[in-house]
Amino acid sequence: METILIILFSLGILVWLVFLLDALIGLRNLDALEKEAKLETGPLLSVIVAARNEEKQIRASILSQLKQTYINVEWILVNDRSTDDTGKIMDELAEADTRIRVFHINGLPNGWLGKNHALYKGTLQAAGRWLLFTDADVRYEEDAFAKALHYFERHELDLLTAAPNLNATHFWLKSFVAFFLFGFSYFKRPWMANNPKSKIGTGIGAFNLVSKAAYESFGTHEKIKMRPDDDLQLGMKMKRAGYRQRIVTALHLIEVEWYGSLKEAFIGLEKNTFAGLNYRISMVFFSIFGVFVTNVLPFLTIFSPNKTIALLSLGNIVLSGIHYCLIIRRMTVFSPALFLVLPITALLFIYSIIRASFLTFKRGGIVWRGTTYRLSELREKE
């Protein structure tokens, strides 16, 4: 057993060194949107918001968007079969501002996830040169659009995605959000979207800005119509198809409360955890094993009487801590001191993977916003 641990932790140190070097290089090419100049007038921007049962969030989100300094904007709000007052609020917003148009969807065709279908229907009504896909719970500072469009044009992009401030009010939720971003960074390497030679792309649902011409040429949301992680897949597939893409941070321009509590986070991750692991059991086990060995086990074995194991454990902790601090300082407004509870948060994350995968199999699919999508359908569209 000791020999196995020595081999694991020795490999772990090598892996963390690779991750650390990759992050150091990648983060150097990750721009902050706050530093960008503004484009205050130009072609029409179409903002498309699809919402289902978002009565608590949507009014504040849209009102923050209506204050943008970029003036040539239209809003297309798509009410996706809501059973609360979302549609009513949308209609009230449209009555107060002529730049807003509202479309109500009452049914869902076969072969589509609700949000993807609603976004696609919204694009059919869009007249803008650019399309901005954003969520109904995102809040914007007034220069967000202007800075994003200037950056988009300056880099001659087809798609720009922006990482918002993921706001969290409770300690354990903050630690969970931080760990999610930490893990996402080395699993998906989002900064590689900024490398034109790389086929790795990314996308964030809070802010996916795409040229309409590129979006239509790519094949629209019809290419990802059964993907619950549509935002990520749009960026990944467009980059793989050769479209020009970049990711930036916008921590002081765009904010979203990812989830209101840890329980909500577990429920929210039910829909896309298994999708993110490509619907493969082997990837579920690999993820659980990887998270435990890299983020939990060293914190236990550092107390081993075997000095070699203890020192290797310490090396893994130090290197992962440096990597964690780099990511947290660049991708969030949280304190890197959250690393102190990393093993506990890692166990919570492992629980979320197990929970989401188990429920997906138990239900035979995912339940998203009140609609059940069969696993056979989800896999079929891969």
Is the CA virtual torsion 326, 332, 338, 339 positive or negative? negative
* Rounded CA separation 59/127 (Å): 23
- Judge contact between 150 and 38, C-beta under 8 A: yes
In Å, what is the CA distance from 317 to each residue of 24, 324, 374? 18, 10, 41
Distances (CA, A) of 159 to 203, 225, 357: 9, 19, 31
pLDDT tens sequence across 345-373:
999 999 999 998 888 888 887 877 777 77
Closest CA to 115 of 48, 65, 208: 48
In whole angstroms, give the CA distance from residue 279 to residue 126: 33
Integer Cα distance of 258 and 265 in angstroms? 8
Strands (E) located in 124-241: 130-134, 138-140, 159-167, 208-211
Residue-range domain boundaries for the chain: 2-26+269-365, 31-171+188-260
CATH code, 31-171+188-260: 3.90.550.10
Determine the Cα–Cα distance for residues 256 and 299; give it in Å rounded to an integer.
32
Rounded Cα gap, residues 48 and 136, in angstroms: 10
Give the burial string for 191-203 (b: 16+ CB within 10 Å, else e).
bbbbbeeeebbbb
Give me the torsion for CA of 330, 335, 340, 345, rounded to 10°.
-70
Listed in order, strand segments (DSSP E) in the chain are 45-51, 73-80, 100-105, 130-134, 138-140, 159-167, 208-211, 245-257, 365-368, 371-374
Regions of the chain where pLDDT drops below 70? 376-377, 379-382
